[in-house]
Amino acid sequence: MEDRLAQVPPVDTFRLSDEALEFLSKSWKDSYQLEQKKPTEVTREFTTSVDDQTHKIHAQPDRYQDKLRKGQQQRALIEIGEGHGPGRGFTVNGQVAKSQGRAAQLATGTTNLSLAGKIIGTIKIIGRDDPTQAETQRAQKVLEILQGLINLEHENPWVQLIFYSSPKDDFQWPPSWTEEMKDAVPVKFRADHVSRPLNSSQTKAVKQMLQQLDDERVTIIQGPPGTGKTTVIASFVQTAIAGGLSGIWLVAQSNVAVKNIAEKLADFGLTKWKLLVSKEFFEYWHEHLYARIRANIIISEDFATPGLLQKHLYNCPVILCTLSMLSSYMFRKNGGFIAAPLRMLVIDEASQIEIGDYIPLFTSHTTIRKVCFIGDDKQLPPYGQEDIQDLKSIFEVKHLKDHAIFLNTQYRMPPQIGGFISAAIYDSLLESNPQHPITNERMACHFINIPSEEQPHGTSWKNLGECQTIICIATMLQAKKKHFRIITPYDAQRSTIEDGLKAHELDWENKCFNVDSFQGLSSDTNCDHHTYCSWFIHGR
């Protein structure tokens, strides 16, 4: 151990400036507080069966968020019933022995007790989940900064610009970056080169996204609901590819947001792009969501096959993935970033991302030359901000937010609702599509009071009475061949509604969404006079 310890670079805070230490201490504190917000006990119900030979319990949840994951610091309390009524059952200890796909195996250690014929009740998981790959890499990068393996002061202008309270007075981009652009032909926006007409604010946003000079290396775009953020991204990609640019990465916090961008690229007729998605999320739970774009998908298990990743990415100018996917060890190990270097970065849902989550990204990649942040700080904030008040997204970084471009016309909400939202939230700056099919002659919003109570479901909620009402409305709308979407803030409610749609043999794919995953749903952003769009909302 003495030789091994001697090779470990020591932590030396004296080499760091006060501003760097302030950034690192806040990042660590934020990370620690978010870790403490993770529940230490979660009770869930599963579809279960028992292997009488191994005494292992097979448990399968009804939704992805309730999936059991193997955790080093977790144990399980499993209720075993022998019949109905109090006192007719017992509890055994266990742990997750294996987790793959939809199912998990729980080892109980009850080798002398047969569970055959027993009723498996609730399963309580005690202990926090293990850190994700992204969380682990964030902690590793902070350690490397403290050890001096990453030099924040001279080698990383992105860190200084994004993470420090304000850039230094003598801040400048590396001269070598400027030299790189010396002979490059600038890509200019042409309206006739994009598949959709853009309004003036969208055009301004795309033009600035294309700029790569020192004064325009960071672009901030604020897009309220329905203002066409994915249209702006697709228009940028279409123009950039036509101009010969490559190394374009489109990133978001959630898988659904990334999928929405991919579908918009497909709508624009773009085919030279790849979407990276984890096998677990795609293959076992959500494959039906990707039917339109299956040919462009790379599953995470392909990262481990030597040569296959480079084959998939060869001559591909655009890559899409979640922010956490950028932390994939196997992708980096097998040359993913060599085959597709990260030069131009577009981050959607940026208002939902705590800036500390960017630490692995901006300390690992030296090839980034342009970054575009797109989001809306008036919508969902970073997770945990309601309890940890000083959590920041990029929209709370004043020296960057002051230069944000505002997308000023929304096409989703009826003008009656859009006008209220504009006045109440956006200082009356948000205009509405004057040709929206729902006019003042039609009632734009209905409220239905359902006398039923919510029930906890794992870490989420559901309301069976409201679900039944929604199914009735969906049945009526489908019979009339109306276009509709269902929005709910709760994932358990979404799953219950989807099950109800299936049971009644109604259309269910791409019908029901959480509030956050619905934002940017491209197919509903621009409604024409021949389309009737209806949304009904469940909420507490």
Domain holding 476, by residue range, is: 446-537
The answer, yes or no, to whether residue 120 has pLDDT greater than 60, is yes
Q: Which of 126, 151, 181 is the last residue of a domain?
A: 126
144 shares a domain with 122: no
Tell me, what's the pLDDT at 477?
92
* pLDDT band of 361, cuts 50, 70, 90: very high
The answer, yes or no, to whether residue 427 has pLDDT greater than 60, is yes
Residue 413 lies in a domain: no
Residue 421 lies in a domain: no
Tell me, what's the pLDDT at 246?
94
| Greater pLDDT, 120 or 534 | 120
CATH number of the domain to which 53 belongs: 2.40.10
490 shares a domain with 366: no
CATH number of the domain to which 456 belongs: 3.40.50.300
Residue 381 φ/ψ, nearest 5 degrees: -85, 180
349 shares a domain with 253: yes
Two tokens, residue 43: 């009770």
Tell me, what's the pLDDT at 528?
34
Q: Which of 407, 436, 465 is the last residue of a domain?
A: 407
Total number of domains constituting the chain: 3
Q: What is the rounded distance in angstroms from the CA atom of residue 517 to the CA atom of residue 522? A: 11
Tell me, what's the pLDDT at 325?
92
202 shares a domain with 141: yes
114 shares a domain with 227: no
Place of tokens 């059952």: 89
Residue 6 lies in a domain: no
Two tokens, residue 184: 């490059």
Q: Which residues contact 207 (CB under 8 A, 6 or more apart)?
A: 189
Tell me, what's the pLDDT at 387?
76
Name the residue among 358, 30, 63, 401 with its Cα closest to residue 218: 401
Q: Model-level pTM? A: 0.86
Tell me, what's the pLDDT at 154?
66
Residue 305 lies in a domain: yes
1-10 pLDDT tens trace: 899 988 999 9
Tell me, what's the pLDDT at 37?
85
398 shares a domain with 324: yes
Helix (H) or strand (E) holding 469: helix 464-479
389 shares a domain with 498: no
Place of tokens 């869930």: 44
Answer for the pair 277, 347: CB distance below 8 angstroms, yes or no. no
334-354 pLDDT tens trace: 888 998 999 999 999 999 999
- SS3 assignment, position 423: helix
* pLDDT band of 518, cuts 50, 70, 90: low
Residue 14 lies in a domain: no
* pLDDT band of 530, cuts 50, 70, 90: very low
Two tokens, residue 392: 């920041």
| Greater pLDDT, 523 or 170 | 170
Q: What is the rounded distance in angstroms from the CA atom of residue 389 to the CA atom of residue 475? A: 43
